Chains A and B, each alone.
Chain A
């Protein structure tokens, strides 16, 4: 499996991580090396095997549909880089 700079650029874009060209050259061989190791899984016969997403065997349960928390905007906003009038502030999205 060869991982080239363009693949790394695309993945970085999907992951929303700014990646200057010189970093592409650093990450490409590292990711290729790791992918080379995980390629070994191709050797395992998994015909008819169900994927295991979680080792938890109990069914997910529903909580009672009642209000147990909330009405605490100040706490929710307390770590925000920028707020205004009880809202999170982000750069302008709509022109």
Chain B
């Protein structure tokens, strides 16, 4: 297992590449082969082995010439929401089934600048709308983990970045990009037993990321260690004049900050009382408690905080996000790109194209968004939600006067079965109850695997930080990682090694 190149962390792989223990080509070939063996997970919409091998060879040449970048030769999965020049980018929607971007997203351009290798375009919920990766017309993604009590029941990887998370957990990619609008990085990271960080809104450019809800969408990364997340985020982040909401501020050296040995000693960690919800599974409540003990043992001070408007975050999100979605998705009209269904006139063509091109969840959200923005309802719903959004952000501002970071569960349950929570859209939405508030406030949030539930499924703890303070988020996450010693492997990975 140790010798298997697909099981290294990114930090270990960079070390091995630098020492010439193996080449980028070997590392990439190993991951392409691992991906072939794990096709049943359906984690990719498009695999790009030719591109990967070519990039790996170029990486080996750069390294030989002493010009290796910070992540040179590291094979990654790219969520199929990031436009990649010349490689089909679908957003997991029929309406973009044949879209080949003539340009590169800023985040992927940054990753390639630093030497990354692209294994393929990862599956997701259609237009990143979902919490289970069951809304993709390219099929469901399976979680590599299974319940001990029911190993035959396939589980969801979470969503929307389900393909990214499943690929990293299954050791078929070393890391992956994701996007997080209401929890789409943190919740799948928790469900798949890996780490994932959504940075502060504005830290990573949204240029070339297919838009869902522009005031909430934020790119981020997945990996199998906190340090690896820091390494990848470092490459993704940075000011981009092409995104008007991109922050023109320097990107700290997060990896160096982590390795500086600075502990969590003296940090104040807030525990929000409103997150103790009725009916929280005992395993999750116990893990949260364990997390506070770990941080206390490491010298942090635990403080009780209050985020009084927490219960209104979900309803606020389900006005703001669909409103922005309905506006953003108005562009899919069958004229300039994507699917076109002919009609008897222009309007008929629009209506047929959109009815055929959008799946049920996307249609629901466009309808909700159109409704809350429509004449007579705009102030009652949309303006009202924007006001409550400010109150939610003010809650965090007040809380951060008392603490440096917040600790909470990532999700209210472990991974559930495919088909569960499908009968009622609101039940599915509740998956994001702990992740949505930080999204509305634009704050950095990270999920780190912290333990298994009674049925052997991974559970994550979430760290929420102050705006622009990813460093503290990463530092606290790394302390939890250290204390939790999360070494469990999904069945399909440990069986392969046996």
Task: Check if B400 is an interface residue, CB within 8 A of chain A.
Answer: no
A88 near B102 with CB under 8 A, answer: no
Q: Are B367 and A17 in contact (CB under 8 A)?
A: yes
Q: Please indicate the chain B residues that have their CB under 8 angstroms from the CB of A40 in the complex.
A: 311-312, 315
Expressed in whole angstroms, the Cα–Cα distance for A27 and B365 within the complex equals 11
- Would you call B421 an interface residue if the criterion is a C-beta within 8 Å of the partner chain's C-beta atoms? no
A67: interface (CB < 8 Å): no
Whether the pair A15, B326 counts as a contact (CB closer than 8 A) is yes
The docked-state distance in angstroms from the alpha carbon of A11 to that of B333 is 17
Establish whether residues A34 and B354, one from each chain, have CB atoms under 8 Å apart when the complex forms: no
B243, chain A: closest CB distance, angstroms: 10
Chain A residues with CB under 8 A of B245: 54, 56
Contact of A16 among B241, B342, B350, B425 (CB under 8 A): B350
Complex alpha-carbon distance, A80 and B343, angstroms: 16
CB-nearest residue of chain A relative to B347? Answer: A16
Pick the contact of B386 from A11, A52, A63, A79 — CB < 8 Å? A52
- Taking the closest CB of chain B, its distance from the CB of A78, in whole angstroms, is 6
Q: Which of the segments B135-143, B389-397, B447-455 contacts the partner chain? A: B389-397
Residues of chain B lying within 8 A (CB to CB) of residue A34: 318, 364, 368, 425-426, 429
* Residues in chain B near residue A12, CB distance under 8 A: 367
Q: Report which of A18, A49, A78, A80 forms a contact with B354, defined as CB distance below 8 A.
A: A18
CB contact under 8 A between A50 and B426, given known A16-B354, A40-B315, A41-B385: no
Cβ < 8 Å to B, chain A residues 72-86: 72, 75-76, 78-82
Name the B residues within 8 Å of A63 (CB-CB).
241
- Report the bound CA distance from A45 to B393 in whole Å: 15
- Give bound CA distance, A33 to B427, whole Å: 11
Q: Does B486 contact A (CB under 8 A)?
A: no
Judged by a CB distance under 8 angstroms, whether B202 is at the interface is yes
Q: Are B351 and A92 in contact (CB under 8 A)?
A: no
Residue A58 at the chain B interface, CB threshold 8 Å = yes
Instruction: Assess whether B284 is interfacial by the CB under 8 Å rule.
Output: no
Q: Mark B326-346, 1 if CB is under 8 A from A, else 0.
A: 100010011111111011111
B47 interfacial contact with A, CB 8 Å: no
Per-position 1/0 for A8-22, Cβ under 8 A of B: 100110111111000
Q: Given A44-B312, A93-B346, are A17 and B336 also a contact pair (CB < 8 Å)?
A: no
**B390: which A residues are within 8 A, CB to CB?**
49-52
Q: In chain A, residues 17-48, which have Cβ atoms closer than 8 Å to a Cβ of chain B?
A: 17-19, 27, 30-31, 33-35, 37-42, 44, 46
Most chain-A Cβ atoms within 10 A of its Cβ — which of B366, B385, B387, B391? B387
Q: Which residue in chain B gives the minimum CB-CB distance to A46?
A: B387
A15-B354, A27-B367, A44-B391 known; A58 vs B248 contact (CB < 8 Å): yes
User: What are the residues of chain B within 8 A of A92 when measuring CB–CB?
Assistant: 345
What's the nearest-Cβ distance from chain A to residue B487, in Å?
37
CB distance from A95 to the nearest CB of B (A): 10
Question: Binary interface profile of B, 241-260, with partner A (CB < 8 Å = 1, else 0)?
Answer: 10011011000000000000
B residues less than 8 Å from A19 (CB atoms) = 355
Distance in angstroms from A64 CB to nearest chain B CB is: 10
1/0 contact trace for B298-326 toward A, CB 8 Å? 00000000000101101110110000001
**A29 → chain B, closest Cβ, in Å?**
10
Residues of chain A lying within 8 A (CB to CB) of residue B244: 60-61
Q: For residue B247, which residues in chain A have a CB less than 8 angstroms away from its CB?
A: 56, 58
Instruction: Please pick, from A33, A38, A52, A72, the residue contacting B381 in the complex, using a CB distance under 8 A.
Output: A38
Q: Are B364 and A80 in contact (CB under 8 A)?
A: no
Q: Choose among B363, B383, B467 the residue that contacts A27 (Cβ–Cβ < 8 A).
A: B363
Neighbouring B residues of A44 by C-beta, 8 Å: 309, 312, 384, 387-388, 391
Question: How far does the Cβ of A43 sit from chain B's closest Cβ, in whole Å?
Answer: 8
A8 proximity list for chain B (CB < 8 A): 367
Q: Which residue in chain A gives the minimum CB-CB distance to B424? A: A33
Contact across chains for B201 and A41 when beta carbons are under 8 A apart: no
By a CB distance below 8 angstroms, the chain A residues around B241 are: 63
Q: Point out the residues of chain A lying under 8 angstroms from B330, CB to CB.
A: 16
A91–B348 CA distance with the chains assembled, in angstroms: 10
Footprint of A on B, CB under 8 Å?
Answer: 98-100, 102-103, 201-202, 215, 241, 244-245, 247-248, 309, 311-312, 314-316, 318-319, 326, 330, 333-340, 342-352, 354-355, 358, 363-364, 366-368, 370-372, 374, 381, 383-391, 393, 424-426, 429, 441-442, 467
> What are 14 A-B residue pairs whose CB atoms fall within 8 Å in the complex?
A11-B371, A16-B350, A27-B364, A27-B367, A33-B425, A35-B371, A37-B315, A46-B391, A51-B383, A52-B390, A82-B340, A88-B336, A91-B344, A92-B345
Excluding A15-B326, A17-B354, A44-B391, 15 further A-B contacts by CB distance (< 8 Å) are A14-B374, A16-B330, A16-B354, A17-B358, A27-B363, A33-B424, A34-B318, A34-B368, A34-B429, A50-B390, A54-B215, A80-B335, A80-B336, A81-B337, A81-B339
